[in-house]
Structure formats: structure tokens, C-alpha cells
Structure 1
Amino acid sequence: MKLIVIAIGANLPGPDGAPAIETCRRAAAALDRLPGYRLASLSRWFATAPVPPSPSSPDYVNGVALLRPEGDGDVANAPAALLAALQAVEDRFGRVRPYLNAPRTLDLDIIAMDGLVRDAPDPVLPHPRAHERAFVLAPLCDVAPGWVHPRLGITAAALLAAVGEAGTRAIG
């Protein structure tokens, strides 16, 4: 089965004042409504410290969604369209980009698309730093510990073991 890995994160209230965890839940529901995709699985939510560290920035809520393309769509031709759709969802949740690694109301990142490897154009796949980030790997292991990084040939569980889970904790 073709699967697409999407990281979900937020550390600011939504435009309606909703807490970050509620924004993340709503974003996961929005992913299930994207044309041509269905939500196949959703991780638990994790609280994580900002990366890079920022004492003035609140902790993030992070999770991972697995999307399944509907029909016989060619995943290799879909990255740019999916990225645009994710950015439209971010916009609806009040995402602004004042500077690199700024706190945000919502962040949706394509981590991987069915083993696709590409260096350009955007999005680069798999995500170039996902394998270094516990805030991606911990929720990914929640839903797909056997997922194999397409470039490294290493499972999500082994990648998480290598980086450690420091700074992440399951919520609830």
C-alpha cells in the first residue's frame, strides 16, 4: 500500500484561540478531506521542545499522519501539488512565516511519499532532516516503526534509537 508520511506540529494558539493540540487535531481531520487522499493512521500527540532551542518559545505539539492516496494516482507526480495543499491548510490555520524556525500555529511537512527520492524541486524527499529529529521519529514510530528511510535504508525505530527521545513526551 502506498503511504505518505506527514508531520504535524504547532506551538501557538490558532487564530480562534484554540490550543495547539486542538489545532493539530483539526489539521489531521483536514488532511482526511484533501482531494485524492485519506487518513490511514494518526499517531499519539507528543510535547516537544523547540528545535533549535528557544527559551521564549512554548513547547510544540507534534504528531504524524499517514495518508493513503485514493485510486491509482501516481505518487511520484504529486509532491508539488500535495505541498501546495498542505500550505493552504496551514494558511487556513493562521500560519505566518516571519523568520526561520519561528513559532507557528501549524506546520505540516511531507516527510516521505511512498519511498520517493528527489533532490529538487521542492519538496525534497524524503525530508532532509526528519531522520535527525526525535519530534518526527517518536510519533512516526507510534504508527510505523518499521518504516524504512528511502535514502538511508534504516527503520524509523532504529533512527529514533540513534537520536534518542530526549525532549519528547507523549501527551495524555
Structure 2
Amino acid sequence: MHKVFVGIGSNLGDKKSYCKRALAFLNILPQTKIKRCSSFYLTEPVKEKNQPWFLNLVVLLQTDLGYQQLFFWLKHIENILGRFPTWEKGPRIIDLDLLLYDDLIINSPNLIIPHPQFHKRGFVLAPLAEIAQEEIHPLLKQSFKQLWANHKFKEWVIRLK
């Protein structure tokens, strides 16, 4: 079984409902189980500030799916939930990001793992540090706890109960 971290986010419509529906779809993927799920985090948009705040979380999956198969399923779930193209960093009904897949380092035209820049994003680091403090970033060789502790706050990240 492969250890995979997936980021989930939404900033349009009923954000919590979209995130929960994405979780439900992840939970029924073939050969895949949700092992851990972070709290929800209310987060300020990073670049495009003139849009609603996001609701974010991170899940740890165990799967026998290959990374390309899993990536296909994530995009398929986004489509099922009604994601439509917007501008880069623009608003979205749902966003599913393949953050890490074991310790693989992949740089292909349509997929980069680890997800680029996630180590600079509070909306990913906070939930990762919550559910996987001691896991190590395969390129930076630092734990998520260390990365979160050293994160330079450029956006608001509020953990919800």
C-alpha cells in the first residue's frame, strides 16, 4: 500500500459540503482507504485576494492505485463535483491536490510530486503538521512540524473545531 497525502479545498458555495463530498468520494475509491483526516482550516487566499476565503484540509490515504491512476481519479472527482476552469489561483468549487505519493519525486508535464510550493503554503502545512508531524518532505528533508514552525505567515490560517 502506498502512503499518499491529498489536499482538499473549496471557496465557492457550501464549502464544507463540497469538501465532505470529496471525502466521501475518496472513501469509495477502489483499493483506497482514508487513514487520517485533518481538521478544517479557514484560510485566506494566497495570491488573488479579491475572492472568498477557502476551507482546506488534508487527508492521508493508503492505496494500491498508481500515482497516475490516483491523479486521474482526483480530477474525475473534481469534475463530478462541478469544478469549472477559472484563472490560476482563482475561486473554485473544489480543488484536490496530490501533495505526496510515498517518497516519489516526479516531474512530468501534467503532474509534479511533491506538489510544488506546498511547503510555502500555510493552508497545506497546518493540516499536514496536524496529522503527520514527523513525516519528512522528500526534497527538503524536514518534517512537516519543522516546516510549519518555520513558515513565514503571509496568509491567515484558522483551525476550525
Identify which of 100, 110, 114 aligns with 2:102: 114
The answer as to whether partners of 1:117 and 1:150 remain within 8 angstroms in 2 is: yes
Structure 2: distance between partners of 1:65 and 1:41: 6
- In the alignment, which residue of structure 1 is the partner of 2:156? 167
TM-score, structure 2 normalization: 0.93
Contact 1:80/1:122, CA 8 A, preserved across alignment: no
2:2 partner SS: coil
**Which whole-Å CA distance do the structure 2 matches of 1:52 and 1:161 have between them?**
22
Aligned mates of 1:53, 1:100 — CA distance in 2? 9
Per-residue deviation at 1:121?
A: 4.4
**What amino acid maps onto 1:129 in structure 2?**
Q
Match of 1:46 among 25, 41, 45: 41
CA contact (8 A) 2:48 2:89 kept: no
The answer to whether the 8 Å contact 1:117/1:126 transfers is: yes
Of residues 56, 65, 82 in structure 2, which corresponds to 1:62? 56
User: Which ranges of structure 1 fall in alignment gaps of 5 or more residues?
Assistant: 14-18
TM-score, normalised to structure 1's length? Answer: 0.88
- AA in 1 matched with 2:82: G
Runs of at least 5 residues in structure 2 that lack an aligned partner in the other structure: none
1:128 has 2:123 as partner: no
Q: Secondary structure at the match of 1:44?
A: coil
Runs of 4+ in 1 over 3 A off after TM superposition: none
Give 1:169's aligned amino acid. I
Give the Cα separation in 2 of the matches to 1:8 and 1:44: 11
Provide the C-alpha distance between the structure 1 equivalents of 2:131 and 2:23, rounded to a whole number of angstroms.
14
Letter in 1 for 2:156: G
1:80, distance to aligned residue in structure 2 (A): 1.7
1:37 aligns with 2:32: yes
Q: Does 1:98 align with 2:93?
A: no
More strand by share: 2
Per-residue displacement from partner, 1:100-149 (whole Å, max 9, x unpaired)?
11100000000000111111243211111111101001011111111110
Matched, 1:150 2:145: no
2:73 equivalent among 67, 85, 102:
85
